[in-house]
Amino acid sequence: MVLSRAVPTPSDTTPSAPPEPDRLAPQPRLLSGIVLAAIACFALLGIGSPLLGQSVFGATDEMVTMSPYSEVPEFAAERPTNNYLDDTWDSAMPNTILFADRLRAGEIAAWNPYTAGGVPLGSTPNYALASPLTVPFYVLPGWFAPGVMKLLEILVAVGGTYLFLRRLRLRPAPALLGGLVFASSAFMVVWTNWPQTRVAAFIPAVFWAAELIVQRHRARDAAVLALAVAAMLFGGFPAVTGYTLATAGVYFLVRVWCEHGRERRRAVGTLALAGGGLAGAVLLAAVQLVPWVVFMRSAYVVGRGQTPDDHLSIASLVTSVAPWALGSTNPYGDVYWYLKENLVESMSYVGAAALVLAVAGAAMARRGRALLPRGAWAVLVGGAIAWLVLIYGGRIPLTVAQKMPFLFSDNFVGRARCILGFLVAVLAAVGLELLLRRRTATDRPRRGALVWAALVWGGVALGGLLALRLARQSAFRADRRLDGGGSARLDHLTGELAVGVALVVLALACAAVLWWQSGRDGGGRPALRLVAAGLLPLLVAGQALTFVVPYWPRSDKSTFYPVTDTHRYLEAHLGHDRFASLYRALSRSVDSVHELRSATGHAFTEQRYGELIRSMGNASGWTSTNVSVAGGLTSIASPTLDRMAVKYGVAALDGPVPGEARAAPTANGVAALAPGTAVTRPVPGTGPVRALQLTPTESADWTPTDRIEAVVTDATGREVARTSRRLGKVTGGAPLFIPVAAEDVPPGTALTATITVRAAEPLPVQAVDGQATVGAVGSADDGLKLAYVGSAAVYERTRAVPRIRWAANPVVDPDGADRLRLLRSGTLTADQVVLEQPATAGGGTAQLEVTRDGTDDTEVTVTARGTGYLVLADPIQDGWTATIDGAPATLLRADHAFVAVAVPDGQHTVRFAYASPHGNAGGWLTLGTGLLIVAVFALGVLRDRRRNLRQLGSAAS
């Protein structure tokens, strides 16, 4: 493949030389207007009502289908259309909202103390808080910001692609179309509201900056590269940045070789400018990169290694032209996504028209190389092929790539669809440009070009047939596995593909018309060419809308992190301590929005904290970022949770209830609990009790509004507890628990339960002589108390030690495994602390007053009578400092994951504070680099002004 040839180098001041008049497309402004209208329709109609403030561009409608929200009647009938967006509402948005709230209060929150024990927040790029695209959260209401952020993201993606393609000599209409194709490609759609798309939106800007450096060789262009790459680094998710720099690096090196290969000094200078730009990007983002590197060295990362088998199925390529061919995101629909790789990871959409144009751009090798700057066409086509092989083929190429550290070894290669989507978009724009340009006798293809074109079109056709065959096999197997037969998925695949193929045929017809007309004398019939050309962007936008409208969330504003009675209870009783999500309630990091401290969450956490929480038992379902209580409710009484200051455990009402089981009388029949009819039965044994228990005789999935109520009264008829919970999904023969907060009744109290079903149908349960049997769960000596039952069950953990406490008696154990065993043994007392290094004698007592407990610091006034240790059960062993009365103090590793400070006799102020590593070196580097970039731009403007003045003076003379 030839990479170099003689073509004019573009001007230093214009993107490209204007095309010859006889090669202009008819009515270019009108065509550009059509493409702009298509982009506007895609963005505005795709996002839709959130831009008008009528709904939320976030999947909080999925959130309220879970406890405790699901028990609120207002949300009982909520049915989301996309349940693939968990991470967005349970981690990305809560952390962003917390940071924005703190920022508006005048605080830059480097640390989030409310999730997973405590994790970095603004100090690292994990949540894209410093990304330019996150700014809407800081100036707009949280419920309104996501839609505006997505609109801004689309503008950046389209604008960057446009600038890059104009620099490659494409005219406005094709350049704009390339931006539309990229913005509507699979990665940019399915990862919406994750930080990932905020990173990927700047991919075109990096390529544009690289091309600027090659063409203009200016310091300002290196500064543009620094800004583009820094924007990606600030967006988090470094794999996307890595894929981009790897591809753009190859592109840049080829372009430098082709343009300046014979001018060694020029080539070296160009490489130096690019190197300076990359260094500037790293230094500009150093304020977050330095703390991120320090934290990730000690982060608990497990299960992220990749193998050559970890790649996308070729079957998923059918979604490139038929996005819903393999199922939908809607669990209530007819066909749900059924490939092994989930939809977010494997959706491959580019669109029928975009695919046709991209293949055309790749197939017209001779004309493509003549159109683009030297070497560009070859790298773009070669890069697209290489990424296709890596992402979908795997095998030896992926094995080789995974030998590289981090980029492929620890990241699923399917996420490289971000860069593949961009390359396809660029080729689609090139294809449209070539189809619009009039062919002359010199453009007549040679034999080699015809062979190449045949290989491209034939290869795509064969690949499509292979993808179709594998997709049909997947559909057939899914039909057998999920339905035991039938053909629902196979029929669905056929129907969706029929639409996709029809759009491909229509796009091929438009391309054929443009090809045919461009070879006719005089440029053919302008009106026909305009119709064919104008239909292509409409096909791109129209099909993209059929993809994004069902996928992108539009939730009712009432679902945007509402406050329930469970939140209010925790807010009133939690104090400085923590709760833990135990059974499908307040899951992940939603608590950050309400500033409630949780031991669980969705985040990378510190290594020792991960070891501590995982040491309690079964770790099934555990991932590096899913910090959950191993074993759920079976671990609720674990002494490990005591040392973690977990004062409350929160569980959904339909979960099992720990305690002393009291069996119901042996059943000999069935009774139907009629709707609206109260049934009164004695509670087995005596009080106190934690739950009532029925045993349904039939399995059923009750409607969201179907409920069951229970009222517990004592012998005098006084109500001691009341519960109303959703019936939900019940299993015949399995217990149906109704938690009741009746643990404050005196022991020995006889209790009666009155149960009422609020549903359209009766509930059949086990019975004795026609009377429903009722079992119970009584209190137990397990350190638990069912303190509150409302929209969730809240268990008070009575043996938990405070998060901020005084410990007079140190226990020294330098071995990590021994410490973990000791912490879960239950033998430690509240005034003991486990240290790793020899400790000074303790024995004193103290009174503690917490004077500040914020995001980045905690301050405690200690009035000690003798020596001892102030223990803070936060995972802040790295990146934090301690002072006593303003003087530096040693942070001791305590209770494996936490910290303690030795405090002498007397009254002292102890302060724990987050400290950016190395004396905030990252912040100073960012500040200095930012000033340098401003100076580079300012000096460039001054130089241009002086040059213009000299030119004017020369012209006047």
Residues 402 and 436 in one domain: yes
Domain of 698, CATH number, reads: 2.60.120
Where does a domain end: 781, 813, 845? Answer: 781
- Residue 106 falls within a domain, yes or no? no
For residue range 651-662, what is the model confidence (pLDDT) as tens digits?
999 999 999 999
What pLDDT was estimated at residue 8?
41
Residues 831 and 685 in one domain: no
- Residue 751 falls within a domain, yes or no? yes
Domain of 859, CATH number, reads: 2.60.420
Type of residue found at 557: K
Could you tell me the residue range of the domain that residue 386 belongs to? 21-56+143-299+317-440+450-551
Q: Is the dihedral of CA 462, 465, 471, 472 positive or negative?
A: negative
What pLDDT was estimated at residue 410?
81
Do 56 and 559 meet the contact criterion of CB atoms below 8 Å apart?
yes
Q: Which of 398-412, 646-660, 681-695, 862-876 has the lowest mean pLDDT?
A: 398-412
Residues 363 and 225 in one domain: yes
Mean pLDDT of the chain: 92
The pairs formed by 578-581 with CB atoms below 8 angstroms and a separation of 24 or more are 578/117, 578/644, 578/645, 578/646, 578/647, 578/648, 578/803, 579/646, 579/647, 579/648, 579/649, 579/650, 579/794, 580/629, 580/641, 580/644, 580/646, 580/648, 580/649, 580/650, 581/628, 581/629, 581/650
- Residue 655 falls within a domain, yes or no? no
What pLDDT was estimated at residue 622?
62
Residues 810 and 765 in one domain: no
Q: Which of 374-388, 433-447, 556-570 has the lowest mean pLDDT?
A: 433-447
What pLDDT was estimated at residue 679?
96
Question: What are the C-alpha distances in Å from 220 to residues 159, 256, 786, 933?
Answer: 19, 18, 65, 8
What pLDDT was estimated at residue 630?
72
Number of domains in the chain: 3
What pLDDT was estimated at residue 841?
75
- Residue 489 falls within a domain, yes or no? yes
Residues 338 and 424 in one domain: yes
Residues 744 and 809 in one domain: no
What pLDDT was estimated at residue 25?
53
Judging by beta carbons within 10 Å of its beta carbon (0-12, 13-18, 19+), is residue 637 exposed, middle or buried? buried
Where does a domain end: 781, 814, 829? Answer: 781
Q: Which of 122, 82, 70 is nearest to 100 (CA)?
A: 122
For residue range 863-902, what is the model confidence (pLDDT) as tens digits?
999 999 999 999 999 999 999 999 999 999 999 999 999 9
What pLDDT was estimated at residue 12?
44
Residues 275 and 229 in one domain: yes
- Residue 83 falls within a domain, yes or no? no
For residue range 742-764, what is the model confidence (pLDDT) as tens digits?
999 999 999 999 999 999 999 99
As a whole number, mean pLDDT of residues 600-622 equals: 83
Do 908 and 884 meet the contact criterion of CB atoms below 8 Å apart?
yes
CA dist 603 and 301 (Å) reads 11
Q: Check pLDDT > 80 for residue 681.
A: yes
What pLDDT was estimated at residue 513?
94
CA dist 685 and 775 (Å) reads 9
The tokens for 867 are 């020596």
Q: Which of 518, 513, 515 is nearest to 531 (CA)?
A: 513
Number of H helices, E strands in the chain: 29, 32
For residue range 839-868, what is the model confidence (pLDDT) as tens digits?
787 888 999 999 999 999 999 999 999 999
Residues 375 and 512 in one domain: yes
Residues 830 and 753 in one domain: no
DSSP single-letter state for residue 717:
-
Where does a domain end: 781, 813, 836? Answer: 781
What pTM, to 2 d.p., does this model score? 0.93
CA dist 729 and 702 (Å) reads 6
- Residue 101 falls within a domain, yes or no? no
User: Virtual CA dihedral for 792, 796, 797, 800, nearest 10 degrees?
Assistant: 120
Q: Percent of the chain having pLDDT more than 90?
A: 81
What pLDDT was estimated at residue 617?
72
- Residue 118 falls within a domain, yes or no? no
Residues 337 and 279 in one domain: yes
CA dist 604 and 589 (Å) reads 12
Residues 844 and 887 in one domain: yes
Residues 833 and 766 in one domain: no
- Residue 584 falls within a domain, yes or no? no
pLDDT band at 521 (very low <50, low <70, confident <90, very high): low
